[in-house]
Amino acid sequence: MKNNRFARWFYGEDDTLIDKVEMKPQKERTPPERQVRRLMQEHERLHEHIYEDDNRKLWLFDKIYRIASVLFCLTFISILLVTVSWLPPSGSANNPGSNEVSARYIEKGLQETGAVNIVTGMILDYRAFDTFGESNVLYVATCAVLILLRLDHDEKRKPGDLTRSEAESNDRIYEPKNDMILQKVAGFLVPLIMIFGIYVILNGHLSPGGGFSGGAIIGAGLILYLNAFGFAKTERFFTEKTYKWVCFFALTFYCLAKSYSFFTGANHLESGIPLGTPGAILSSGLILPLNICVGLVVACTMYAFYALFRKGGF
């Protein structure tokens, strides 16, 4: 009984993880002592300077600021509460929000857009321009994060900045690399998550879901894969170039497709895009390709945010 591996591990006689999991030796970087002392001194001096009683004015300002902000928040909440108490009762059908616009979406949505899911029909057909703006907001946000967090490969760097290789070596100080449990579970879960995400995107016009939620699911699957297998494996199929081209083609296709349908719609022309039978997977005209575009942009954005925050690059 005591000879099998589980029992040995249970009684602490040997560690099954040794030689199986690649552990980075958890050696903390020890900066030179003088530098540490200088930093500590500066920190303490600043701390005293800010918070101790000798800085009377700042202390007074701090107290007044705290009291004023609590009072402000309470006043704000009570004003809003008074407003809420005069709002029409929620859940009633005669609210001013349920006006002719939503009635039109519900009554004519299926015939005009072909989408069974009225919300999808609304955001990707009646209000497709708004959704185009949202996709662009995600893309621009990734660009801004890229500008702020991107680390360079080469050594010519500004003082205080990390290089990419330093960030990569810092990445694994506190966790083991190639964790076997994580890899086994990820190998089983990632395909399922991907298939579920693709299902949610492709059924966006038939059931709850669509490009945004499906894209977020696929992004989560990519992040799990990255966590389990590391950057070297994901860079085989997802690099900065992939991100650039996928986002470029998705956004351009969205823009051209919707420009065409707006042009024909505004000039009362036949668009020539078949709506299909409602309920079939290949139906509802442009909504399915637009959902795929939005899903690609969202999935890439999720993964890009994670990679940029973790390593400063893809």
Partner 1 sequence: MFGGNLLVNFGSVVAVILFGIGFSNLLLQKNLIKKILGLNIMDTAVYLFLAEKGYIDGRVAPIVVDGVQDVTAYINPVPSGLVLTGIVVSVSVTAIMLSLTIRLYRRYHTLDLDEISTRLKKEGL
85 sits near partner 1 (criterion: CB under 8 A): yes
CA distances from residue 150 to 159, 161, 288, 314 in whole angstroms, order as listed: 15, 10, 34, 9
* Residue 277 CB, nearest approach to partner 1 (Å): 12
Q: What is the DSSP letter of 27?
A: P
281 sits near partner 1 (criterion: CB under 8 A): no
123 sits near partner 1 (criterion: CB under 8 A): yes
Contact residue for partner 1 among 305, 311, 313, 314 (CB under 8 A): 305
Nearest CA-CA partner of 194 in 182, 202, 206? 202
CA distance 285 to 10: 60
Contact residue for partner 1 among 20, 24, 37, 47 (CB under 8 A): 47
CA distance 122 to 106: 10
Contact residue for partner 1 among 212, 229, 238, 254 (CB under 8 A): 212
- 218 with 198: CB under 8 angstroms? yes
- 267 with 104: CB under 8 angstroms? no
* Residue 60 CB, nearest approach to partner 1 (Å): 14
Contact residue for partner 1 among 101, 181, 185, 281 (CB under 8 A): 101
54 sits near partner 1 (criterion: CB under 8 A): no
Long-range Cβ contacts of 5-10 (<8 Å, 24+ apart) = none
* Segment near partner 1 (CB under 8 A); pick from 184-192, 206-214, 269-277, 280-288: 206-214
Length of the chain: 314
Contact residue for partner 1 among 41, 69, 169, 277 (CB under 8 A): 69
129 sits near partner 1 (criterion: CB under 8 A): no
Residue 107 or 175: the one with the smaller Cβ distance to partner 1 is: 107
CA distance 78 to 75: 5
177 sits near partner 1 (criterion: CB under 8 A): no
Kindly give, in sequence order, each residue whose CB lies less than 8 Å from that of residue 155, ignoring residues fewer than 6 positions away.
163
The 149-168 contact track toward partner 1, x by CB under 8 A, reads x----------xxx------
3-state secondary structure (DSSP) of residue 177: strand
73 sits near partner 1 (criterion: CB under 8 A): yes
- Taking phi over 0 as left and psi of -120 to 50 as alpha, with beta for the rest, 277 belongs to beta
Number of residues engaging partner 1 in binding (CB under 8 A): 67
3-state secondary structure (DSSP) of residue 22: strand
Residues that bind partner 1 (CB under 8 A): 39, 43, 46-47, 49-51, 66, 69-70, 72-74, 76-77, 80-82, 84-93, 95, 97-98, 101-103, 105-107, 109-110, 116-119, 122-123, 127, 130, 134, 137-138, 140-142, 144-145, 148-149, 160-162, 207-208, 212, 278, 305, 308-309
